Structure 1
Amino acid sequence: MKINTPPPFDITDPAQAVEALPYLLGYQPDGPDGMVFALTHDTQRDRPVFSQRFALPSATVDPREAADRMMHDILDRLEEFAIGPADVLLYLCAGREEAKDGYNAMGRYRTLADALLLSAEAHGVGTLGVMFVTATHWWAYHHRNPLHRGEGMPVDGPDSPGAVTRNARALGFPAPPSEAKIRAAFEPVTGREAKVQRAAIGKEVGLQAERVQASGVDVETDRAAAILDRLLLDGGDGTLLTDLTPAQTAELIIALRHRPLRDIALSYTEPDELARARELWELLARRCASAHTVLTSAPLTLAAFAAAVAGEVPAALSMLGQVRRVEPKYVLAQNIEQIVMAGSVAALVESMQDLRAERLHGREG
């Protein structure tokens, strides 16, 4: 059964379905976090209609409850799209550490795979396949072919192209980027640097509270905006961003938790600003000194927006996915993700540029 996504692949051929996964995701799934990726297929129109990403449940979570929650989310989306009969293709993607021992990891998730199959059946959704995938090997749960090797089948891709990669190349599609490389840009600092940075952030929380109490929120926002203007406006003042002190980056990290400054930060999208702005946002995310703090939400969302403006949608979605894992209800990230998926980034850029012009005109006046 051919799926005419770019590039097309046979959804009933596990090898092709796995080889197509990076094109469906927008990146090679070699990052640190595992996930369940669901591709839902409209059986009447014979076409894929949407995809969803879910976190792999931890060992303390009942697999049946986790499977039912995922299936409920899929059914909710089916209702939104007003789709009748549907099938789902499910990928259980290993995180970086689990991928080191893919066979045993595959075995550990068999209960979840069984639960997903049973939950789909109970909810009237067909299952095209449930597969466990690492960056190098794949296994098909419940597969009828006994010849599939127990140690896993090798993943086809750029280094060993199969039908999907050959089709992609013929159509001019580049190989999707590595998620691990995307994530490396905002991996948190560690060791002594992390200790110093956390201390600076803790101190800045108190300092900012004192300044707000003394002068008010608007004055504090203007103060932080002046710092961003100095670093970024029209290309900035040439300061080497990596030379910013822990105290200087902590000041911006805390300030960006406030919406007025985040709106200003979205406006640095001119050609001589964009790359430097993204560099600053990624630096601030790293200097939050933890991948699990909500302080990363603002700089990562801003970095994602800068990536999207530059046309790097896979990088943008990877960053927004990290925000979703840390702070699921972070509204700015939700809005940016919707805008990116809808292809409406240019409209938001124009809107933020109008607000920027008003701000700068008011400052000059």
Structure 2
Amino acid sequence: MTTHSSPAQITLRSPAELADALPYLMGFHPDDSIVLVALQGERGRFGGRLRLGIPRDRAEWSDVAAQLAECLIGGSERRGARPTGVIAFLCQDADGAGEEPRQVMDRLRPLAQRLRMACGRLDVPVVEALCISSGRYWSYCCPDVTCCPPEGAPLTPPGTSPMAAAATYAGIQVRGSLREMEARLAPVSGPPARLAAQEKALDEAAAALVPRILGAADRDAVGEDTLALAGRLLARLRAAPRTGADDAAAEEDARDDELVSDEEAATVVLGLQDRGTRDRAAEWMEGPAAAAALRLWRLLARRCVGAFDEHAAAPLTLAGWTAWSAGDEATARVALAAALRADEEYAFARLLHDAVNEGLDPEPLRASLRKQRAGRRHQARRDPVRGGE
């Protein structure tokens, strides 16, 4: 099996090398996850990949396996490249309540079997299925105890494998664990009084803005006010640069949170519930504004507390879009999955999530948004009153 990370190329020949490659394929360590990776061509080049949390209810495993197989193989076929094989990864650490990693492997074996059967029914074999738990891996397919012993084998120490060297050469980053990435998007925690103050601000913003958004006469004015405030917050964040180090992310996110008041966050969150306003906010997708925009959308998602948790779908989707536009597919996948957990019917998040998973190019959407912005500016020059930014 071959992975291409231009200009580097590396061939993976063993379960150990596949287990080591997983974080580099995904861009993060996918804890509590099913990951399926498509193989393309005679040499088994890595193609599309899917990730889903492992369902706690075993009764769901058969349906989930069938859906994942159909999504991966069907998506590959729509792109004109039917997979020649699939690699399955089951990633879950021991629960800390006396369960051993080998017991995790045994517990998940029926799920691995269901994944193999689901892919097989579509005439695509699972050529390897691995369980990764608490620093060790097991193969559900390899019978050779010299390379895959019953007690499992230790994962390669981080940064010491050929895959790690190739990834470093290609500029590929592993952004911590999935759990850590999701924590950056989750509602803030803290003293009850602090959370109550943010929820009160959201309540007041909803009472003030929702009737205006629903009323045609005032909707555009709310959008303009929302975007103007978001622009000021972007400038504020850009003036407070970050190191960008993953190990400082939580601390730097906390500093970002201090820069935006409850009332400011609530006003922008409620304003972004309007689709037109959200689509204009998506234009902060490239150039100097993009990094600050990603920080702002994460921040706003964290402020969607209490009864307003579903409102996080809009800023989470914008975070996913901004990350995807910037080439950070790992962050995009996590943010868009979080948006769909907040509101499974949120159409923009669903479209973007499918596009990222199918390996599409974000440039057509960027071009559309640029055209939208240029058209609005042209209208502003012709009619400053009606077309102004």
How many pairs align? 358
CA contact (8 A) 1:235 1:273 kept: no
CA contact (8 A) 1:231 1:237 kept: no
**Structure 2 residue 282 is the aligned partner of structure 1 residue 266:** yes
Distance, in Å, in 2 between the alignment partners of 1:270 and 1:115 is: 42
Give the C-alpha shift of residue 56 in structure 1.
Answer: 1.9
Gaps in structure 1 of 5+ consecutive residues: none
Match of 1:300 in 2: 316
Give the C-alpha shift of residue 309 in structure 1.
Answer: 4.6
The one-letter code matched in structure 2 to 1:138 is Y
CA contact (8 A) 2:94 2:104 kept: no
The one-letter code matched in structure 1 to 2:38 is T
The one-letter code matched in structure 1 to 2:224 is D
Give the secondary structure class of the aligned counterpart of 1:129: strand
The structure-2 alpha-carbon separation of the partners of 1:358 and 1:250, relative to structure 1 and needing over 3 Å to count, comes to farther
CA contact (8 A) 2:2 2:12 kept: yes
Distance, in Å, in 2 between the alignment partners of 1:225 and 1:198 is: 21
Percent identity between matched residues is: 23
Give the C-alpha shift of residue 296 in structure 1.
Answer: 1.5
Give the C-alpha shift of residue 306 in structure 1.
Answer: 3.2
Distance, in Å, in 2 between the alignment partners of 1:355 and 1:95 is: 52
Match of 2:116 in 1: 117
Gaps in structure 2 of 5+ consecutive residues: 241-255
Give the C-alpha shift of residue 187 in structure 1.
Answer: 3.0
Distance, in Å, in 2 between the alignment partners of 1:341 and 1:232 is: 28
TM-score by length of 1: 0.81
**Structure 2 residue 129 is the aligned partner of structure 1 residue 130:** yes
CA contact (8 A) 1:40 1:50 kept: yes
Give the secondary structure class of the aligned counterpart of 1:138: strand
Distance, in Å, in 2 between the alignment partners of 1:350 and 1:5 is: 31
The structure-2 alpha-carbon separation of the partners of 1:292 and 1:198, relative to structure 1 and needing over 3 Å to count, comes to closer
Match of 2:30 in 1: 29
Query: CA deviation digits over 1:123-147, x for unaligned, max 9?
Result: 3221211111247322212331224
Give the C-alpha shift of residue 4 in structure 1.
Answer: 4.0
Distance, in Å, in 2 between the alignment partners of 1:54 and 1:246 is: 33
**Structure 2 residue 201 is the aligned partner of structure 1 residue 185:** no
Match of 1:357 in 2: 377
Give the C-alpha shift of residue 95 in structure 1.
Answer: 7.0
Give the C-alpha shift of residue 3 in structure 1.
Answer: 1.3
TM-score by length of 2: 0.76
Match of 1:153 in 2: 153
Match of 1:218 in 2: 220
Match of 1:40 in 2: 38
Match of 2:161 in 1: 162
Give the C-alpha shift of residue 342 in structure 1.
Answer: 0.9
Give the C-alpha shift of residue 237 in structure 1.
Answer: 9.6
Match of 1:139 in 2: 138
The structure-2 alpha-carbon separation of the partners of 1:183 and 1:162, relative to structure 1 and needing over 3 Å to count, comes to same
Distance, in Å, in 2 between the alignment partners of 1:329 and 1:156 is: 41
Distance, in Å, in 1 between the alignment partners of 2:336 and 2:313 is: 9
Query: CA deviation digits over 1:167-190, x for unaligned, max 9?
Result: 444x44444222455434323211
Give the C-alpha shift of residue 292 in structure 1.
Answer: 9.8
